[in-house]
Amino acid sequence: METYFCADNSRSLKEDIIGSAPTNQTYVLIECPTPWAENAFNSRCVPLSLKTLKEKIQREKMPVNLLLINEHHSSKQTKSIIIFKRKQGLSKSYSRLELEVQSLEEVASLVESYLPETDLEDAYSESSSIRDILVCTHGSHDKCCAKYGIPFYREALETIRNLQLTDVRIWQSSHFGGHRFAPTAIDFPEGRYYGVLNQNTFCSLLTRTGDINCIRGVYRGWGILSIYAQILERELLLLHGWEWFNFSVESNIISQNEDKTFNRIELTYKSPSNNILRSCIADVVKDENKTLYLKGSCNGKESERVKFWAENLVF
């Protein structure tokens, strides 16, 4: 009997998970019944038109991530389509558009009509305070997402009910990477990634209260930033505390060597309480002491997992 779990191995090695958040220009979340096949878009419920769109996005290497989502015990007759697009310049979240369709057959053409749009700001209500939190429960893709993701999702539903958070929706999601960090989640519209979660840290993330250092071991990074800027951004988050979640940011690579083991990053940020721009420059370098060799998934091959560290911070 196969007893290897990539998430258990990552935890035993005390892998630092920062800098593992994928960077996508656009996310499209499609409400779709479970169960899902190993390749989610080969699932029985997915129409050919939607599968073809997924293949086109992959073939043309478009910065778009199509994900299937499902809400526990939903009784709606319609299906939600939620589109998130990264904003230009200083930003603290993705722009958001939510649509309803009667049938999944409608989705492909609808999504294609919005993909060329550079910004969804006109369609996004700034007054909306909805947070959409995705938890990967895609156990047919990787068994760690079943072992850790499914129980976490069920407990998270209860946590949200107990906290009476009516503006938070939590969804089961198909694979979005990071099996070995299960249970793993994305918090939209910000687009922040988390892993190795439990209900105590999840409660702090929901309410943004408690010791900010609890985030150190569960924060994968902010998807609007490059992996190098994600490492610097965590240092600023720990420095400023929960208030940092209200800041707008933008990053820039000042210099970088050929193999990208040295990266000088500038992160510009602005507090919501004033219009003063501030910046921090740091060298993000390969950390030999934290570079590991392990499997990225239960069925994957062992490979080098390079880790970086931010040093020489200048404000």
CB-based contacts of 196, cutoff 8 Å, min separation 6: 7, 11, 17, 181, 182, 183, 184, 217, 218
184-220 residue pLDDT tens: 999 999 999 999 999 999 999 999 999 999 999 999 9
Residue 218 included in any domain: no
Count of beta carbons in the 10 Å neighbourhood of residue 119: 12
Can you spell out the DSSP letters for 219-276? EEEETTS-HHHHHHHHHHHHHHGGGGGG-EEEEEEEEE-TTSSEEEEEEEEE-TT---
**How would residue 304 be classed by pLDDT, with cut points 50, 70 and 90?**
confident
With pLDDT > 70 as the criterion, what percentage of the chain qualifies?
A: 95
* Closest among 291, 16, 2 to 180, alpha carbons compared: 16
- Give yes or no: residues 107 and 235 share one domain: no
Q: How far apart are CA 290 and CA 310, in angstroms?
A: 13
Same structural domain, 280 and 198? no
Torsion of CA 33, 179, 296, 226, to 10 degrees: 100
- Amino acid 78: pLDDT: 87
Q: What digits encode the pLDDT tens for the residues 116-133?
A: 866 665 444 444 689 999
Q: What domain range is 128 assigned to?
A: 6-213
Same domain for 169 and 232, yes or no, is no
Residues 174 and 50 reside in one and the same domain: yes
Instruction: Please give the Cα distance from 266 to 273 (Å, whole number).
Output: 22
Cβ-Cβ contacts under 8 Å for 172 (sequence gap 6 or more): 34, 69, 70, 71, 72, 134, 135, 137, 153
Tally of domains in the chain: 2
Both 277 and 208 in one domain: the answer is no
* Residue 220 domain flag: no
Q: Which of 152, 180, 213 is the last residue of a domain?
A: 213
Exposed / middle / buried, residue 269 (Cβ in 10 Å: 0-12, 13-18, 19+): buried
Contact 230, 21 (CB under 8 A): yes
Residue 147 DSSP symbol: I
Residue indicated by tokens 């934290």: 290
Which pLDDT belongs to residue 24? 92
Tell me, yes or no, whether 244 and 112 share the same domain. no
Q: What is the mean pLDDT of the chain?
A: 91
Residues 115 and 181 in one domain: yes
Among the ranges given (180-184, 229-233, 244-248, 300-304), the one the predictor scored with the smallest mean pLDDT: 300-304
| Helix/strand/coil for 161 | helix
Q: How far is CA 90 from CA 231, 232, 271, in A?
A: 18, 16, 11
Q: Any bridge partners for residue 192, and if so which?
A: 187, 222
**How sure is the predictor about 301, in pLDDT bands with cuts at 50, 70 and 90?**
confident
Predicted pLDDT of residue 1: 41
Comparing 67-76, 100-109, 136-145, 166-175, the range with the smallest average pLDDT is 67-76
The alpha-helical segments, DSSP class H, found in the chain are 6-12, 48-59, 107-114, 143-144, 150-163, 199-207, 227-240
Query: Higher confidence at residue 241 or residue 72?
Result: 241
**Domain end marker among 193, 213, 233:** 213
Q: Flag whether 160 is in a domain.
A: yes
Do 108 and 252 sit in the same domain of this protein? no
Taking the C-alpha atoms of residue 299 and residue 296, their distance in angstroms, rounded to an integer, is: 8
For residues 157-183, average pLDDT: 95
Residue 127: burial class (beta carbons within 10 Å; 0-12, 13-18, 19+): exposed
User: In CATH, what number is assigned to the domain containing residue 168?
Assistant: 3.40.30.10
